[in-house]
Amino acid sequence: MKKTTLYKKLIHDPEILVTPGVYDGFTARLVQSMGFKSATVSGAGVSESRMCVPDMGIMGLADSVDQFRNIARCVDIPLKADADTGYGNAVNVYFAIQAYEQAGAACIMLEDQVWPKRCGHIKGKQVISAEEMVKKIEAAVAARKDPDLCIMARTDAAGVLGIEEAVRRGNMYADAGADLLFADALLSKEDIKRFAGETKKPIAVNMGFGIRKRPTTPLVTAKELQAMGVATVNYGRIMSSSAISGMKKALEVLQESNRTGEACDRPDLCIDFEEHSALMGLPRIKELEARFLTEEVLTNKYGRR
């Protein structure tokens, strides 16, 4: 089954689709190995890890697509791409969709913010007119070559103009051809229920994870979201925030070891070399060596087997 077809099936299945946000080969391969059926390539995660800049429209189309292509190459599960606003007007959207489709996207998200956009939980957001966004979605639908490629329309109107406007826009975007709808920064469970119940297409929700201060959208379990009618939930920052936390703890241990002069081994903070190598696909490389290298070369590398 094509990844695009599989993704559409997953968002229409009764069980909610849970997608962690990934940003590189490590995170994508780990998510797949843990049994998740899909993942979202986080625009924020890519911007922050690749360029070390916040998710505020600084990274452009070429860098975003290049990173997405590298990630898609690493896994077999379908991936959702974050195409921001399409990097311009509806004509730019047309070419952005084709670029992401060629890179292997199963779903592509477009949002109705003014460019340069910003993370949905950062203050200062502005939205374009609903009519302009409709044209962007029409361009996206016209640009895709695979009819199963999912076009996801995101509206940031809830935090700027209110939930009623978010619902209105969601239905306009559905009528324009969007397959999946997403209202970012919903402020309550009631707003989530309303958006799910009053729009025409499957909906997505973003959830924070490990946020110490109160997130914009209240934390709700996947099962509860499923009961509300949500098709898919994305945990966009779970991988990047936990990775930074883990690296910080390991470096603190290293600093303490250097301060005291005592050797310190903390296997609880690291995966072992064998697990790391397996995750990166070393067993597959060895299979290929055994298949395609001559006995002489193999003997020189590894000795007699």
- What pLDDT, in 10s, does the model give residues 200-249? 999 999 998 666 565 578 889 999 999 999 999 999 999 999 999 999 99
pLDDT of amino acid 243: 94
pLDDT for 215 equals 57
Please say which residue of 236, 269, 290 terminates a domain.
236
The string of DSSP codes covering 94-126 is HHHHHHHHHTT-SEEEEE-BPSS---TTSS---
Answer whether residue 265 shows pLDDT above 90: no
The phi-psi region of residue 196 (left if phi > 0; otherwise alpha if psi is between -120 and 50; otherwise beta) is alpha
Q: Is the pLDDT of residue 122 over 80?
A: no
Both 255 and 223 in one domain: the answer is no
Same-domain check for residues 184 and 259: no
Same domain, 135 and 200: yes
The parent domain of residue 285 ranges over 243-302
Close Cβ partners of 86 (under 8 Å, ≥ 6 residues apart): 92, 93, 96, 97, 110, 136, 139, 140
The count of domains in the chain is 2
Looking at this protein, which amino acid is placed at residue 290? A
| The pLDDT value given to residue 217 | 82
Given a contact cutoff of 8 angstroms between Cβ atoms, the answer to whether 161 and 133 are in contact is: no
If asked whether residues 262 and 225 sit together in one domain, one would say no
Considering the domain architecture, whether residues 223 and 294 belong to the same structural domain is answered as: no
Q: Are residues 165 and 292 in the same domain?
A: no
- Same domain for 276 and 215, yes or no, is no
Two structure tokens written together for 158: 């809830």
Contact between residue 220 and residue 189 where contact means Cβ atoms under 8 Å apart:
yes
CATH number, residue 231 = 3.20.20.60
pLDDT of the residue at 104: 98
Q: Among residues 236, 252, 279, which one ends one of the domains?
A: 236
| Spatial distance between the Cα atoms of 16 and 124, rounded to a whole number of angstroms | 31
Residue 189 shares a structural domain with residue 260: no
Closest residue by Cα to residue 155 from 189, 114, 99 = 114
Crossing angle of helices 61-74 and 25-33, in 10° steps, is 40
| pLDDT, position 7 | 98
Same domain flag for 254 and 229: no
- Whether the per-residue pLDDT at 54 is higher than 70: the answer is yes
Asked if residue 217 and residue 290 are part of one domain, the reply reads no
User: Token digits for 205?
Assistant: 């929700």
Q: What is the pLDDT of residue 300?
A: 93
Amino acid occupying residue 27:
T
Kindly report which listed range (99-103, 141-145, 260-264) carries the lowest average pLDDT score: 260-264
Q: What's the confidence (pLDDT) of residue 211?
A: 60
Whether 178 shows a pLDDT value over 80: the answer reads yes
7 and 145 co-located in one domain: yes
Q: What is the mean pLDDT of the chain?
A: 94
Residue 43: in which H helix or E strand, if any?
helix 43-46
Confidence check: pLDDT of 144 > 70: yes
Domain boundary among 195, 217, 236: 236
- Joined together, the tokens standing for residue 97 give 């969709």
Q: How is residue 115 written in tokens?
A: 């460019």
279 and 231 in a common domain: no
Instruction: Read off the pLDDT of residues 11-44 as tens digits, 9 standing for 90 and up.
Output: 999 999 999 999 999 999 999 999 999 999 999 9
In whole angstroms, give the CA distance from residue 115 to residue 86.
Answer: 9
